[in-house]
Amino acid sequence: MSHAGTGTENSGASARIQSSVVDKRAGRSLSGPGIHAVVDDFVHGRVPGYQMAAWLATVACRGLDRTELAALTEAYVAGGERLRLERVGGVVLDKHSTGGVGDKLSLIVVPIVAACDVAVVKMSGRGLGHAGGTVDKLESIPGLRLGLAPEEMYPVVRRVGMTIVSQSAALAPGDDATYALRDVTGTVESIPLIAASIISKKVAVGADGLVLDVKTGTGALIPDHAMATRLAETMLQLAGDFGLRCRGALTDMSQPLGHAVGNALEIKEVLAVLRGEQVPGVWEACLVLARLMLQSADPALTDAEADAKAEKAVASGAAYDRFLAWISAQGGDRRVLEQPALLPGSRHVLPITADRPGWVRTVDPRKVGMAAVHVKAGRLSHSAPLDHGSGVVVARRVGDRVEVGETLAELHYNDGDAGLATRLLTQAFDIDDERPAPPPVIHRVFDSPVR
Ligand code: URA
């Protein structure tokens, strides 16, 4: 398979994509077969990247209607693998987050739901730029295998009720090929392109229910509230068009989630929450997402009943045990989870302190995320190496009171540009004389259009 413009381009395909660009630019609807041909031609190297980039940019500018969006989603999945979750038995759910800074919610919610005897299969990605990725966080755990083939996943889910694996390019080849191009052509932040990209992978997984966590706020993929709402609604409708029951929440990313930002630091926070620590911002969001998942498996559950189940799964230790059992099932060394001090750490910890008294008005998640990148907890290019022990611990949240000299955040580092990271962290905090209202953790919950 080739999609970089390797000389196998052909003139018929080239003419097809040109006329598709012209039609879209002129506001005409594209046919389903036309969209399929464009994606298929690119995936098979019959059109070069620059033509596909023009097509994606035109779609990003002009949008897609509902029929076109479903056709693009189908085209992304075409020719790819599909999971066979009937081999797991029973209801199997999937969860997706559009990501952000300190977003470790999946690692808490999935074992909670599994401990309530509802199976979960989740494919996760790596981080890029200011936002972290679940796969990077999990790779802090020695021995843990995330690149499982489907045949290896089914027995793990049958045994421990959950699996988290790295995203397979084989599931939605059209998305895989075009995503790399979007990444370098400024066409990631497009509602139809994001929706088709995410939902195509969910269609290929084929779970019985999907819960979407769409972030809004300065650290989110789509920061603007109205646009993020539109993204959530578009994805719900698109999932429904494929018969996929999907519920979702619009959750806050106007400040980092919880305290820990960085790979092993976040794993430690996950373990703390699974042991019952109610980390502000994290626990409330986990409870709502677990509720939506439990209700997807059993629509008769009231909110109070679902919350009671999730709370019991944590209080009884069942969710924590489930997480450890899953880590062992995929080859991870559970001793490092039982003794988190064995996880990767940092040689240096630098406190960032308040230079005036007041109330924390802003903790800019992009600046915090970029501070973490500059000490190698995240990456700016796909091939950049990571330091799993570095990152940031955010000590104060919006609405907290601080006095001069009190710690706002800590920079944990071994390597990288600690000076730049420190400057970014200092700029991330805005302290005011008036106490601001903290933002809600959950802005809105969305129901499935499919009953
Ligand atoms: N995540 C995806 O999988 N696709 C996008 O387009 C954006 C985020």
Measure 164 CA to ligand 1 centroid, in angstroms: 17
* Active-site residue, from 96, 309, 376, 412: 96
In the chain (451 residues long), the average pLDDT of successive 10-residue segments reads 57 95 98 98 96 98 98 97 94 96 98 98 92 95 96 97 94 94 92 97 96 98 96 97 96 98 98 97 98 96 97 98 98 94 96 98 98 96 92 98 98 97 98 97 87 54
Asked if residue 290 has its Cβ within 6 Å of ligand 1, the reply is no
Active site residue 96: yes
- The predicted pLDDT at position 448 comes to 73
Burial class (CB in 10 A: 0-12, 13-18, 19+), 345: middle
Active site residue 201: yes
- Selection from 297, 313, 368, 407 nearest residue 103 by Cα: 368
Asked if residue 188 has its Cβ within 6 Å of ligand 1, the reply is yes
| Cα(354)–Cα(401) distance, integer angstroms | 10
Strand partners, 430: 362
Measure 155 CA to ligand 1 centroid, in angstroms: 28
Measure 404 CA to ligand 1 centroid, in angstroms: 41
Active site residue 175: yes
* Active-site residue, from 197, 254, 346, 448: 197
Of 94, 187, 198, which is best to mutate to test ligand 1, by the most ligand atoms within 8 angstroms of its C-beta?
198
- The predicted pLDDT at position 450 comes to 60
Active site residue 182: yes
Per residue in 6-37, is it b (16+ CB within 10 Å) or e — as a string?
eeebeeebeebbeebbebbeeeeebeeebbbb
> What is the rounded end-to-end Cα distance, in angstroms, of the chain?
39
Q: What is the 3-state secondary structure (H, E, C) of the chain?
A: CCCCCCCCCCHHHHHHHHHHHHHHHCCCCCCHHHHHHHHHHHHCCCCCHHHHHHHHHHHHHHCCCHHHHHHHHHHHHCCCCCCCHHHCCCCEEEEEECCCCCCCHHHHHHHHHHHCCCEEEEEECCCECCECCHHHHHCCCCCCCCCCCHHHHHHHHHHHCEEEEECCCCCCHHHHHHHHHHHCCCCCCCHHHHHHHHHHHHHHHCCCEEEEEEEECCCCCCCCHHHHHHHHHHHHHHHHHCCCCEEEEEEECCCCCCCEECHHHHHHHHHHHHCCCCCCCHHHHHHHHHHHHHHHHCCCCCHHHHHHHHHHHHHCCHHHHHHHHHHHHCCCCCHHHHCHHHCCCCCEEEEEECCCCEEEEEECHHHHHHHHHHCCCCCCCCCCCCCCCCEEEECCCCCCEECCCCEEEEEEECCCCHHHHHHHHHHHEEEECCCCCCCCCEEEEECCCCC
CB 93 within 8 A of CB 210: yes
CB 240 within 8 A of CB 119: no
- The predicted pLDDT at position 382 comes to 85
* Active-site residue, from 130, 137, 182, 443: 182
Measure 197 CA to ligand 1 centroid, in angstroms: 6
Of 77, 167, 194, which is best to mutate to test ligand 1, by the most ligand atoms within 8 angstroms of its C-beta?
194
* Ligand 1 atom with minimal separation from the 196 CA: 6
Asked if residue 119 has its Cβ within 6 Å of ligand 1, the reply is no
How much is the pTM?
A: 0.95
Can you tell me which residue has the tokens 């979960």? 120
- The predicted pLDDT at position 395 comes to 98
- Using CA atoms, how far residue 194 sits from 222, 228, 250, 311, in Å, is 10, 11, 16, 33
Q: Whose CA is nearest to atom 3 of ligand 1?
A: 198
* Ligand 1 atom with minimal separation from the 167 CA: 3
Asked if residue 194 has its Cβ within 6 Å of ligand 1, the reply is yes
- The predicted pLDDT at position 169 comes to 87
Q: Is the dihedral of CA 376, 378, 382, 388 positive or negative?
A: positive
